[in-house]
Amino acid sequence: MTQTIAPRLRPLVLLFLAVAAALLAGLAGAAPVSAHAALTGSAPQQGVVVDKAPTQVTLTFSEKVALSDGAFRVLDPKGKRVDTGKATELSGTTYGVPLHAGLPDGTYTVAYQVVSADSHPVAGAFTFSIGAPSVTSVSVSDQTAGGGVVGALYGFGRYVSYAGFIVMVGGAAFVLACWQRGSGVRALQRLVVSGWLAMTAATLALLLMRGSYTGSGKVGDIFDLGLLTDVLQTKTGAALVSRLLLLAAGALFIAVLFGAYARPETESTEDHEDGEEGEELDDSSARRDLTFGLGIGGGVVAIGLAATWALAEHASTGLQPDIAMPVDVLHLIAVAVWLGGLSALLVALFRAPADAPIEGSAVRRFSRVAFGSVLALVATGIYQSWRQLGSWSALTDTSYGQLLLVKIGLVVVLVGIAFISRRWTAQLPETAPAEAAADEDTESAEEPVAAAAKGGGAKRAAQLDRQRAAVDTARLKRLRNADPLRSGLRRSVLAEAGVAVVLLAVTTVLTSTEPGRTEEEAKAATSASSSSSPSSSDADSDGTGALTLDMPFDTGGQDGKGLVRLDINPARVGGNVMHVYVERTNGRAFDVPEVKVAFTLTAKKIGPLTVNPDRVATGHWTANEIQIPMAGDWKIAVTVRTSDIDQVTVDKNAQIG
């Protein structure tokens, strides 16, 4: 029966594996655009022409980033570096690198490569000009953070580490919670141990590749001990080392689970055949205690392993990290219990001893556990989706949202197949009919062998004994597969496992994709930066609430005309970030001595709230954490001083909050 089922299932299995392989291959292409911190502003701005050479270049990101040597490079038209190489944090999410004095006119290229707070590399480049644009020979095609061969290997390592975690945790949970007799089944033992080995090997590989992945991207740098030392000092490096330590504890757990825990199950029937009821009760109590201890210890290890992802990736940054990290841990545990348990059930159905197949009660217990895991998965997934998307439009307008829709579709398919499996499970008998038949066949087969042993000697008896064992194994498998209920359950569980493989691949790509909320904020910031001409509207608010105000001014003195532009993000009640740009009438940066801003809510008699922004470059000032106490129609007044005696105050009203 096995040979007749396999050909029908083989195309389905190959299809799932092909799709998974294609998705994994796509990791290499997805990595270069997987930045989770977006560049939201710079001074000088991209493409701007400034009159005077700036003393430094500043870059503002959507979240905090980690800097390394050479994080920012400023190159002249011939490709020579003109920065000092010492990038520093100026304030909040704004970073700067000083420039050498006396830079000549021409077009300069700013290239950056940093690591976002959620562990992903970020790279890019833009140009600005001094005096007038010029021809530049600079090429920044190598700014593909996380790409190339190392990026593909790193993505594959992430997939393997997730898969290993799911198989190890889910397989162990299946044994403890659903089928304790499975601790003595060799196939299940190999499955859980394989998960541990895969996760350990992948974690070591990720630790070695991390420096090259976030830096040069060269294969040779994987074994650079200097880079490894730097990695160990980062949040991601600490998470990977912690994961290795927890895996050592996991090895001890597995040794007990498949050693001392499995032994009483096989020995109890042999050791207590003489009817010693007291000893049996003692063994039963000891086994319950051991089960409880393994459950607590294994749970702690599983939660710790899940936390190594939550503390270093998406959940640790952005909105509500204190809530997001525990939710992420619960999400990962639910996935592992469901999909890892599913893989264990698949192994039990196909590889459990033919004379001792998995009981129907064990399958039904897993069905209930899986249902609870799906509920937890849906609840935590809804929260994570809201947190990472930020808006309904991000579902279709961003790469993250589109991948999320694919993931949701696969989960729906998986739940649908699981519903079919539950129907098979409900009809499953407590024990397989093969067992009774096997006992009869075994008894009837003993007589010929015994006779052969008397007539043909011990050697012939041993030979016949081996033949009988082979025949018995084949017969037991045929009897097991002849059960239509179990055969139907095997097919549906195999289909679930195939969808789960693809789902895991999509999830791995999703964790390396820029969240929809961040992508939309970056687009909004880019749009605000591009609306710097005098012809821009007086007040422009984009879909995220970011506000841009353009106000022409004239101080009345010589060279006193220009335009002041305010970018306020997110223009809501609470903390805001403000950028002030002062330009001449020809659009070039205006180097004025002083700028002040005041906010007044006349209707509520609040203000003026005075802000003295910090100068970060020629014609560019910034202020972080501006507190707007109340929503309303605010009057925003800007005072611009162009000389010791010439200054003017211009104002406009804008809705904030």
Query: Is there a contact between 520 and 534 (Cβ–Cβ < 8 Å)?
Result: no
Least confident of 50-54, 94-98, 126-130, 311-315: 311-315
Category of 632 on φ-ψ map: left (φ > 0), alpha (ψ -120 to 50) or beta? left
Query: Is there a contact between 347 and 187 (Cβ–Cβ < 8 Å)?
Result: yes
State pLDDT tens for residues 576-597. 888 898 988 887 888 888 899 9
Query: Is there a contact between 555 and 641 (Cβ–Cβ < 8 Å)?
Result: yes
Question: What type of residue sits at position 159?
Answer: Y
Q: What is the pTM of this model?
A: 0.63
| 136 φ/ψ angles, rounded to the nearest 5 degrees | -125, 140
Residue 541: beta bridge partners?
A: 547
State pLDDT tens for residues 149-203. 888 898 899 889 999 999 999 999 999 999 888 888 898 999 999 999 999 999 9
Q: 237 vs 117, 210, 484, 512, CA distance in Å? A: 13, 8, 51, 17
Dihedral angle sign, alpha carbons of residues 569, 571, 572, 578: positive
State pLDDT tens for residues 505-560. 787 777 767 777 666 666 655 554 444 433 333 444 443 456 888 889 988 877 88
In the chain, where are the structural domains located? 9-14+148-262+292-429+486-520, 39-130, 547-656
272 — pLDDT class (breaks 50, 70, 90): very low
How deeply is 427 buried, as exposed, middle or buried, from its count of CB atoms within 10 A (0-12, 13-18, 19+)? Answer: exposed
State the average pLDDT over residues 293-298.
Answer: 90
State pLDDT tens for residues 61-78. 877 888 877 788 899 988
CA dihedral (437, 441, 442, 443) in degrees, to 10, reads: 110
Instruction: Identify the CATH number of the domain defined by range 39-130.
Output: 2.60.40.1220
464 — pLDDT class (breaks 50, 70, 90): low
CA–CA separation, 437 and 355 (whole Å): 9
Which residue bears the tokens 């000009």?
Answer: 129
pLDDT at 532: 40
CA–CA separation, 503 and 537 (whole Å): 46
Instruction: Identify the CATH number of the domain defined by range 547-656.
Output: 2.60.40.1930
CA–CA separation, 380 and 384 (whole Å): 6
- Domain 39-130 shares a fold with domain 547-656: yes
State the average pLDDT over residues 400-415.
Answer: 83
CA–CA separation, 595 and 618 (whole Å): 12
Q: Would you say how long the chain is, in residues?
A: 657
pLDDT at 334: 92
Query: Is there a contact between 478 and 1 (Cβ–Cβ < 8 Å)?
Result: yes
Whether the pLDDT of residue 138 is over 80: the answer is: no
pLDDT at 434: 43
Query: Is there a contact between 60 and 42 (Cβ–Cβ < 8 Å)?
Result: yes
CA–CA separation, 497 and 56 (whole Å): 55
Whether the pLDDT of residue 127 is over 70: the answer is: yes
pLDDT at 240: 93
479 — pLDDT class (breaks 50, 70, 90): low
Query: Is there a contact between 209 and 157 (Cβ–Cβ < 8 Å)?
Result: yes
How deeply is 596 buried, as exposed, middle or buried, from its count of CB atoms within 10 A (0-12, 13-18, 19+)? Answer: middle
Return the percentage of the chain with pLDDT > 90, whole number.
16
33 — pLDDT class (breaks 50, 70, 90): very low
pLDDT at 30: 37
Q: 407 vs 343, 401, 501, 502, 508, CA distance in Å? A: 19, 10, 12, 9, 11
| Closest to 59 measured CA to CA, from 10, 111, 121 | 111
Please enumerate in sequence order all residues whose Cβ is within 8 A of that of 36, keeping only pairs 6 or more positions apart, or say none: 63, 116, 117, 118, 120, 122, 314, 317, 514, 515, 518
State pLDDT tens for residues 191-245. 999 999 999 999 999 999 988 888 777 888 888 888 888 888 888 899 999 999 9
Whether the pLDDT of residue 142 is over 60: the answer is: no
Helix axes 235-257, 277-310, angle to 10 degrees: 170
| Closest to 526 measured CA to CA, from 39, 32, 31 | 39
